[in-house]
């Protein structure tokens, strides 16, 4: 196996986030399921945008946030995702390249606009998302550069990619290339509603060894195994031949293998502002540590540190340099 050019490659939806504070009444009026992610069309996206208060516009997308976070830890990173050659797409491209992420997926010249995710953040820090996938849906196998995949030690795949059929094929192509090159493949389950839609297929990805590492939060894991009991879900995960990494909000995380189950505490925070990106940044820290051969507990501590940083401000990308923050907390790897 040749030396890796990149530590982590992410495949995911290239999205611009539009984030606004909101109250529960707005969610009720708009018939939005609190804490979930709903796919909407361009018309509905426009209606919701008109109903939102003052908004912050930031480049986002789950796997893209993870890759940006890993880069902030000093990892060598790359990203594959589809934008259109419009203002939002150009902003996304500028933002991700500006911090050193390798991103050269060809933008669409016509068709749907660059994707946007409308994020409503309630006073408890919970985020409710309505996503117009737009150009994201046109990510296909032709956008997966084999050399970039072969050159990446870890390939991180976003569960949300399972919605558009062409993106699903891109996902599978990347996993096949990665394994042929002796690389590891990670999957994030993305959202409990996403798991509800594709439970059987996600379990197949785990059991046929398409993926080696699975990231989930406690709600996604319970949905995967159709149980309301977290211990039952952990027991089921322990039987799979994967490295399982499960976040449990303020209780921290649990790293699960067939041989062991290790709980790692969360980092303390001063104030919860916005949980958008918490899971994405946790994965960023874990993968950055794993790329440097850190033990699983250290990887989880790095993930917890990154999640703690991002939930204390609006937006799903770090405002601090995470490598420096890790060093301050005795976690330099």
What integer pLDDT is reported at residue 317 of this predicted model? 87
| 3-state helix, strand and coil shares in percent for the chain, rounded to the nearest 5 | 45, 20, 35
Judged against a pLDDT cut of 70, whether residue 51 lies above it is answered with yes
Q: State pLDDT tens for residues 228-279.
A: 999 999 999 999 999 999 999 999 999 999 999 999 999 999 999 888 889 9
Residue 312: inside a domain: yes
- CATH number at 187 reads 3.40.1190.20
Residue 55: inside a domain: no
Q: Which two tokens stand for residue 132?
A: 């117009």
Residue 41: inside a domain: no
How high does pLDDT run on average in the chain? 93
Q: Which two tokens stand for residue 53?
A: 């208060």
The predicted model gives 61-78 an average pLDDT of 96
Judged against a pLDDT cut of 60, whether residue 223 lies above it is answered with yes
Domain coverage including residue 286:
6-12+62-91+137-328
Residue 24: inside a domain: no
Q: Which of 310, 329, 311, 330 is nearest to 320 (CA)?
A: 310
pTM of this structure: 0.90
Residue 258 CB contacts under 8 Å (≥ 6 apart), including other chains: 238, 239, 240, 241
Residue 250: inside a domain: yes
Residue 30: inside a domain: no
What integer pLDDT is reported at residue 1 of this predicted model? 57
What integer pLDDT is reported at residue 205 of this predicted model? 97
Q: Which residue's structure tokens are 């999640």? A: 307
What share of the chain has pLDDT > 90, as a percent? 78
- Residue pair 286/258 in contact by the 8 Å Cβ criterion: no
Residue 254: inside a domain: yes
Q: State pLDDT tens for residues 138-183.
A: 999 999 999 999 999 999 999 988 888 899 999 999 999 999 999 9
- Residue pair 168/205 in contact by the 8 Å Cβ criterion: no
Q: How many domains does the chain fold into?
A: 1
The predicted model gives 173-196 an average pLDDT of 95
Residue 46: inside a domain: no
């Amino acid at each position: 196996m040749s030396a890796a050019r990149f530590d982590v490659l992410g495949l995911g939806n290239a999205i611009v986030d539009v984030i606004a504070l909101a109250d529960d009444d707005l969610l009720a009026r708009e018939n939005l399921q609190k804490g979930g992610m709903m796919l909407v069309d361009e018309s509905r996206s426009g209606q919701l945008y008109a109903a939102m208060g003052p908004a912050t516009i930031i480049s986002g997308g789950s796997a893209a946030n993870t890759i940006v976070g890993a880069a902030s830890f000093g990892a060598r990173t790359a990203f594959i995702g589809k934008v259109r050659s419009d203002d939002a797409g150009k902003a996304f491209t500028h933002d991700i390249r500006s911090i050193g992420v390798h991103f050269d997926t060809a933008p669409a010249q016509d068709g749907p606009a660059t994707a946007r995710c409308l994020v409503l953040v309630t006073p408890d820090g919970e985020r409710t998302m309505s996503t117009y996938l737009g150009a994201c849906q046109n990510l296909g196998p032709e956008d997966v550069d084999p050399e970039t995949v072969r050159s990446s030690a870890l390939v991180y795949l976003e569960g949300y990619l399972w919605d558009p059929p062409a993106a699903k094929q891109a996902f599978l192509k990347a996993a096949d290339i990665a394994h042929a090159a002796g690389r590891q493949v990670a999957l994030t389950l993305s959202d409990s509603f996403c798991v509800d839609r594709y439970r059987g297929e996600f379990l197949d990805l785990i059991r046929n060894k398409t993926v080696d590492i699975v990231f989930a939060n406690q709600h996604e894991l319970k949905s995967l195994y159709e149980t309301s009991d977290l211990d039952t879900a952990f027991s089921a995960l322990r039987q799979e031949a994967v490295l399982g990494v499960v976040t449990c909000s303020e209780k921290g995380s649990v790293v699960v293998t067939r041989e062991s189950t290790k709980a790692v505490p969360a980092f303390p925070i001063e104030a919860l502002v916005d949980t958008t990106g918490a899971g994405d940044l946790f994965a960023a820290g874990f993968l950055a540590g794993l790329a440097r051969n850190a033990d699983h507990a250290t990887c989880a501590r790095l993930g917890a540190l990154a999640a703690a940083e991002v939930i204390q401000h609006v937006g799903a990308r770090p405002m601090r340099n995470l490598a420096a923050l890790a060093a301050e907390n005795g976690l330099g790897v």
